[in-house]
Structures are given as structure tokens and as C-alpha cells.
Structure 1
Amino acid sequence: MSDTERVAHAATPLSKLIHTVDPARLSDPTPCAEFDIRALLNHLLFWGPSLVGAARKEAVTPPAAAESDIDLTAGDWAAALDAHLDALTTAWTDPAAWRGVTHMGGPTELPAPLVGGMVVGELIVHGWDLARAVGATPHWDDDLLRATYDETAATAEQGRQMGIYGPEVPVDGTAPLLDRILGLTGRDPSWP
């Protein structure tokens, strides 16, 4: 799978899940301890413009409002997330998105392939968070999961130091790739 296909493949299960979320369940917990479903959806919408901007080599600063200030009841959040995933997928299918350096929500330049890999990881991990919260089982292909595991393993300690990941959850080295990715990010793959 080429880099230009990775975001689209990572986004597909999340895109399918968006319309299965019952608005009455927005306060239900997710495997990410700091997010209920509402907060998880807010997180995706809040950071969406920065992730699209990163593909376009545009430094997009997140809004001054907090993630929690997004009002999911004020509009069609499913349509907003659909539009975000479409824009994200389109932006990262451009081969130029994966070359050189870019920014992700701040002034620091980062290698574009690193940022692209972070976007893929964000979609997979938060897609799994949402799926588990609504009782679904998402699926990503092994090539995508292998690349994501390798990238996550290489940056997991830095992610923990930055507060992006929680403490590693031990997962057997023979467990499925998705479970090993989740463990690296501080999630328990057997979360109910």
C-alpha cells in the first residue's frame, strides 16, 4: 500500500461508524479514559483542520476555543465529521503531502512522513475507541496495521512524554497488530 492510500484506508472504518452513534449515548465512556463519546468526536473535529493543513503544508493553528466547546447538539456533527474525513483523505492522497516537512497545529516543522503516519495512527486508534464505545468491531488490513505498529513503536516513548499516550499496556508479542498498537498507546485491547 502506498503512502497516498494510507489515510483513506485508515479513515474508512471510522467513516462507517459515525452514522451508528446514537446521540443519546454521547456521554458513554470510550477506552480513552479522558474521552467519552462526545469528547472523542469533539477531539476529531477540533484537530481536523490542523491535520488537513499539515498535508497541504499550511500551518493551521487550532481554534482558541477548547475542544469541549464544540457543541455537538447545535448541528449535524456526523456531516461535519464526514466532511472532515473527506477533506483529510483528499489532502493526504497528494504525493506532495508525504514529502518534505510540514506543521501540525504549531510552528514546529516535522517530517511530512512522520506527520502522515501520526494522522493514520490517530484515525486507527480513535476509530477503535469509537467502535468499542458503540459495541462495534473495526477492521483495518494488515499492511496498514504493520506500518502503523512500526511507526507507533518508534515514537511511543516520545508520545508518552508529550502526554499523547498513556502508560504502555503490556500486550503479548504474538497478539494481533491492532492490539499491540493499542497497548503502545496506553489502551487495553480487551476494554469491554
Structure 2
Amino acid sequence: MSDKISRLLEAAADRTVTVVRGITDEQLGAPTPCSEYDVRALAAHLLQVVVNFQALAAKKEADFGVPPEPLEGAWRERFAEETVRLIDAWDAPGAEEGTSGAMGFPARTVGAMVLGDLTVHGWDLARATGQPYEPAGVLLDVVGEEFRALAPMGRKMGVFGEPVPVAEDASPFDALLAAMGRDPGWARP
């Protein structure tokens, strides 16, 4: 598989869209491994992320300070449609070149951020709703490398939690989750 962000997003979106479609209305109030969010709030946050990173791919600004829109109507299908738009946005010529966003990060780093959000929040939602989730292995190299570099700043900004200890032989995905402050063994109550 290509390491082009749009191709990697296809793999991440495929898995996460499946999880989102599997969320029942009864599960929306359930806790998630991302402790500040229940399922409803995390799904709304992730939808906002997917939309905002479309703008960042086009070198436009995105406002993450605005609260996410509430989940209404056919929000699961909207999520699926917006991930297609996200992939298309990152597939556009020049999307991975230059810088994106107010912080002036390299565009490829910004693409890896949304790739990580789709992957990790897909896992969060799967764990919270009792669904299986296994990320595509090819994603872990790109996301792991970028997120290890971003971790100190992410912790300072409150986006990543403090690292969680894992065994030396932990899987690459468990190590990534732990580096972001997630307990890879989290189970729904």
C-alpha cells in the first residue's frame, strides 16, 4: 500500500466507519477510553475533526474551538460521507506539500494527525461499544512516528495524556495507545 496520506486514510476510514455505523442509540451515553468524552461526544468530536481536516488539506483554516454539532438525523451516514470527502481532500494535488494550519506544521504531519485521530478514536469508540477493532498495520508506522514526535507538545496542550506503561513486547498499536495516554487494556464497565 502507498504511504500517501489519502491511501492511508482509506484504510483507517474503512475500519472507523464500520465502528461508527455499529454504534446503537442506546450506547451514546457510554463512557470511552478517552475519559472526557462519552460515545456521543466522541463521535461528534470525530465528525468535527474529519470536516476540519478537509479544510486543512486545502490549506484553509479550521476552527477547533467551536463546539461540535450535536449528532442528529442520519449522522452515521454523514460521518461516512465526510470521510470520503476527507480522503478526496488529501488526495488533491499539493495536499501533502507545504504547511497547513495556523501552527504551520508540515502538511504531511497534519495529514498524519487526522490519520491518528481516525485510528485511535476508532479504537476508542469500538472499545466503548464492544466492537472489534484492529488498525491496518501500515498505518502504525506513519502514525507512530508522527505521534511520538508530537507527544510532548500534545501533552502540553492537553491533547495527549501522560504515557501509560506497557510491557516491552506490547504490540505497536498498544505502544501507540499507551504513548498517547490510553490504557490498551481498557474495557467498558
Give deviations 1:145-171, integer Å, cap 9, x for gaps.
122111111111111001101111112
Equivalent positions of 1:9-48 (< 5 A) are 9-48=11-50
Tell me the alpha carbon deviations over residues 104-148 of structure 1, each in whole angstroms, 9 at most, x when there is no partner.
xxx332210110111111111100001111112212222211221
Letter in 2 for 1:118: M
CA–CA separation in structure 2 for the residues paired with 1:82 and 1:115? 21
* Alpha-carbon shift at residue 16 of structure 1 (Å): 0.9
Structure 2 unmatched runs, 5+:
none
Query: Counterpart of 2:170?
Result: 175
The alignment of Structure 1 onto Structure 2 pairs a total of residues equal to 185
1:86 maps to a residue whose letter is V
In the alignment, residue 71 of structure 1 is paired with which amino acid?
P
Residue 75 of structure 2 aligns with which residue?
77
Q: CA deviation at 1:49?
A: 2.4
**Structure 1 spans left out of the alignment, 5+ residues:** none
Residue number in structure 2 paired with 1:56: 58
Question: Is residue 46–residue 63 contact of structure 1 (8 Å, CA) maintained in 2?
Answer: no
Residue 76 of structure 1 and its aligned partner are, at CA, apart by 1.3
Q: Which amino acid aligns with 1:142?
A: G
Q: Select the residue among 139, 147, 150 that pairs with 1:144.
A: 139
Instruction: Check the 8 A contact 1:50/1:62 in 2, yes or no.
Output: yes
% identical equivalent positions: 35
Superimposed CA distance per residue, residues 61-98 of structure 1 (whole angstroms, 9 cap, x where no aligned partner): 3474x23xx332x3211122112111111111235111
| Separation of aligned partners in 2, 1:156 and 1:128 | 19
Extract structure 1 runs of 4+ deviating beyond 4 A.
none
Name the amino acid aligned to 1:82.
A
Q: Residue type of the partner of 2:18?
A: K
Partner residue in 2 for 1:2: 3
Other structure's SS at 1:96 match: coil
Q: Deviations over 1:19-38 (max 9, x none)?
A: 11111110001110011100
182 and 35 in structure 1: CA distance in 2 versus 1, 3 angstrom threshold: same
RMSD: 1.5
Letter in 2 for 1:2: D
The 8 Å contact of residues 49 and 62 in structure 1, kept in 2 or not, is answered as: no
Q: Provide the TM-score with structure 2 as the length reference.
A: 0.91
| TM-score, normalised via structure 1 length | 0.90
SS state at 2:170 partner: coil
CA contact (8 A) 1:98 1:112 kept: yes
